Structure 1
Amino acid sequence: MFFQSHTISTCFNESRSSIGIRVWYQFTASISSLKVVWRKDQKLDQAIENDKVWRQCAKVVKEVLNEPGHVIPLRYLEKRRERLRLPIKIQTFLSRNPGLFEVYYDRIKPKTEPVKFLRVSDRLQRVLDEEERIYLENEPLIVAKLCKLLMMAKNNVVNAEKLVHVKREFGFPNDFMVNLIPKYPEYFKLIGSPGEGNSFLELVSWNPIFARSVIEQRADEESKLTGIKIRPSFNWKLPNGFLIRKEMREWIRDWMELPYISPYDDASNLDQASREMEKRTVGVFHELLSLSLYKRIPVPILGKFTEEYRFSNAFSSVFTRHSGIFYMSLKGGIKTAMLREAYKGNELIARDPLLEINDNFIELLDEGHEQREEQLKLQKQAVQNDTELVAMRNNTLNDLELTESEEFYSS
């Protein structure tokens, strides 16, 4: 059946057994009036928390890489701590993360005294070189993602600056607009110049292979396995502890029974306030999150594409209204839309190939942390050895004094 009743009913039965946890609603004909109270999901929040340390380190690395020659005076970087939101001094940051940079002395001006500079370490440079290989190896994936973003957009055009702004979310190279786009004139046409604030990326040709959403691909795969035609549908699974009232449950079932509308289909004829448009909007968000590296995107970033993807001004309510599909995290004071089905606990189920870049960087950080722990352990052992040596010397001196005293009295 189009509506996956076995998943929903299981969640509802589990929800009835919970005490004191409620999801309230207002059931009217208007979609916008359907209210669902947000509830914290600690496991999905933890997924965001797990990335906090390496993302902070990546900011500092990026700051150095943006400098000419990839070098910077340490004191200059110290002055930028507030902008980088780094809560510790740069010297402390370096000691906690050995392996990222090398410290050396150089002159800022010819006749000035040498000062401390930072440059990329050999280990970090190897990670950066490996990054280039991974990007090249996954170039077809990146091209497909870009095509899909354009194919879902109104008139198949997206503001180029907005795409540059979301490059981290989707795993695009820093220079993709300059070095990648010109390599594929059969797919892309750049109107205007990037950086001028009024440039656009336009789709040149429509590839029907790219016009299959994750939902549709999943239905195709299930159809092949079972030999039965499976209708595309969303996976709806609420976390344990949610309580949904009967009327809201019925609304969800009715909405789920509506035919799936592909985010790649033309939606210009749909009424913005209709359930069908809501179906299409949920499909677009599901596809956008599926294309992202971590299957999550900050809500303010999604809001930048309101015009391109025909989102309503109150689009963020979709994430709480369809809390069996999405979760909206408030971790770090930023609303982040997450795809529930993409996670098991706080871990991603299927990993994007481009995540190898981040994995290599995290591995480098872990090696540095292990190195620091070993250094601290050696320092602690050295202090302990010195303490024991001093104690032994004191004991020896005491023994000598005692022996001399005994000899004096015995004589």
Structure 2
Amino acid sequence: MKKVRLKWVKNRSLDHIIDRDTDTKACCLLLEYIGRHTTASSPIQARNLSQFQKTLGLTIPVLRFLRRFPNLFVESPHPRFPSVNCFSLSDPGSLVLSRLSSTAATSDSHLRLARLLMLCQSRSLPLSALFPLRFDLGLPHDFTSTFPSLHPNLFSISRREHSSDTVMSLMNYPTDLAISYLQRRHLESPSYRDLKKPPSSLGAPLAFPMRFPRGYGSMNTVKTWMDEFHRLPYISPYADPTGIDPESDLMEKRVVAVLHELLSLTIHKKTKRNYIRKLREELVLPHKFTRIFTRYPGIFYFSLKCKTTTVVLREGYERGKLVEPHPLASLRDKVNRVMRTRVLYRDRDLTKLVLDDDDVNDHDDGDDDVENYELDISDGEEEDEEDEED
């Protein structure tokens, strides 16, 4: 199959979403950390928070970030050392935290985690690879202790032999969950092409949704390339890839399916590339899997915003908003609204939350994708390119 390579360019709308969600993620994680480590007599010191700047993905110091939101974070001198700055949560901040915690505890995050473990070759992952994905999957902060006790038939915590790694493993393989997001969508709302297939062809090729810039979807070269790609059999990401030639086009489509399913499991349909790199061996991904994102820009968007690399599932967004917003994602969007407007309650009544009001206008930019691609057709293998390090 001829490989049409579309060069990467910026997408202003998706970059704006990543910029906005980075601040929201940092705010939510700081609310959670300060709420768990602060008491009335011992607020947390600012220097203990400054070490999390890189982990939070902030491009400014944590202290400056906290001071931007005095309605959520309260700065005060230390009770014993007045020269030391400390932070605690305000009453509105505590109220927001309780809403986030209750929503995360009652969501379907355990099913998302189970599907992620089902994608892995060993049906297990070290906690060092799971913790970075906790926010993206919507997991509660204590999932390592609550999930094994609440769902003992699904999860267990153990230590690997000859290693100090603590891993979370899948106890049973629920076959009813081994249906990919793409397969479920085709079964629930089949396309015209699917309706023409006989009932016995459920394993026939499935088409990935493509969102090219204006004009590119109608180009003959791109259409021919995508027709050949979609004619290849669709291999479920939950199926065993043993026996597939690692250098074949079929394996490449299987890799696209795995990455598509992984991003579909996330709350915001995006995650950082470095988080995926920690799962590379378990997901049976090639060493240079990053080229998949740039080779299929109709499916993925590869962003360099916020001094990091983020991968976005294009079909998950429409005009700057999630197509199928998760309840936790909707709550986080309202938290971002509180961050921007500095308004949490009305009429001096903490029970009348703006978080519960849907009539507040959201001023997010809804610009269409503004981008251009250049075509590069190659018959053979692409030139080897080393993945950039963040």
The residue correspondences of 1:214-363 to structure 2 (distance < 5 A) are: 214-223=181-190, 229=197, 232-240=206-214, 242=216, 249-363=223-337
Bigger strand fraction: 2
Aligned positions, number: 333
Secondary structure of the equivalent of 2:6? Answer: coil
The residue aligned with 1:49 is: 19
Identity over the aligned pairs, expressed in percent? 26
Larger RCO, structures 1/2 (Cα 8 Å, 6+ apart): 2
Structure 1 residues 69 and 369: alpha-carbon distance in aligned structure 2, compared to 1, 3 A threshold: same
> Any conservation in 2 of the 1:56–1:86 contact (CA below 8 Å)?
no
Structure 1 residues 247 and 81: alpha-carbon distance in aligned structure 2, compared to 1, 3 A threshold: closer
Question: How far off its partner does 1:276 sit?
Answer: 1.1
The residue aligned with 1:125 is: 94
Question: How far off its partner does 1:129 sit?
Answer: 1.6
The residue aligned with 1:101 is: 73
Question: Structure 1 CA distance, aligned partners of 2:264 and 2:234?
Answer: 17
The residue aligned with 1:13 is: none
> Any conservation in 2 of the 1:153–1:309 contact (CA below 8 Å)?
yes
So what's the TM-score if we normalise by structure 1? Answer: 0.71
> Any conservation in 1 of the 2:43–2:78 contact (CA below 8 Å)?
no
The residue correspondences of 1:358-397 to structure 2 (distance < 5 A) are: 358-368=332-342
After the TM superposition, which of the residue ranges 242-251 and 302-311 deviates more from structure 2? 242-251
Question: Structure 2 CA distance, aligned partners of 1:295 and 1:310?
Answer: 21
- The answer to whether the aligner puts 1:36 opposite 2:6 as a matched pair is yes
Bigger helix fraction: 1
Structure 1 residues 165 and 86: alpha-carbon distance in aligned structure 2, compared to 1, 3 A threshold: closer
Structure 1 residues 249 and 124: alpha-carbon distance in aligned structure 2, compared to 1, 3 A threshold: same
Question: How far off its partner does 1:41 sit?
Answer: 1.7
Question: How far off its partner does 1:116 sit?
Answer: 5.3
Letter of the aligned partner of 2:146 in structure 1?
Answer: N
Secondary structure of the equivalent of 2:94? Answer: helix
Question: How far off its partner does 1:251 sit?
Answer: 3.3
After the TM superposition, which of the residue ranges 56-65 and 257-266 deviates more from structure 2? 56-65
Secondary structure of the equivalent of 2:229? Answer: helix
- The answer to whether the aligner puts 1:166 opposite 2:150 as a matched pair is no
Question: Structure 1 CA distance, aligned partners of 2:50 and 2:237?
Answer: 46
Question: How far off its partner does 1:183 sit?
Answer: 1.8
Secondary structure of the equivalent of 1:354? Answer: helix
Structure 2: unaligned runs, 5 residues or longer: 346-390
After the TM superposition, which of the residue ranges 41-50 and 320-329 deviates more from structure 2? 41-50
Structure 1 residues 249 and 114: alpha-carbon distance in aligned structure 2, compared to 1, 3 A threshold: closer
Structure 1: unaligned runs, 5 residues or longer: 1-26, 372-411
Question: How far off its partner does 1:349 sit?
Answer: 1.1
Question: Structure 2 CA distance, aligned partners of 1:103 and 1:279?
Answer: 52
Q: CA RMSD in A?
A: 3.2
The residue aligned with 1:408 is: none
> Any conservation in 1 of the 2:100–2:328 contact (CA below 8 Å)?
no
Letter of the aligned partner of 2:339 in structure 1?
Answer: L
After the TM superposition, which of the residue ranges 73-82 and 207-216 deviates more from structure 2? 73-82
Deviations 1:21-77 (A, max 9, x none): xxxxxx86xx7xx64321222222122122243334345435534535385366536
Question: Structure 2 CA distance, aligned partners of 1:81 and 1:187?
Answer: 32
After the TM superposition, which of the residue ranges 144-153 and 227-236 deviates more from structure 2? 227-236
Question: Structure 1 CA distance, aligned partners of 2:82 and 2:37?
Answer: 21
Question: Structure 1 CA distance, aligned partners of 2:167 and 2:84?
Answer: 44
The residue aligned with 2:47 is: 76
> Any conservation in 2 of the 1:170–1:291 contact (CA below 8 Å)?
yes
Question: How far off its partner does 1:159 sit?
Answer: 2.1
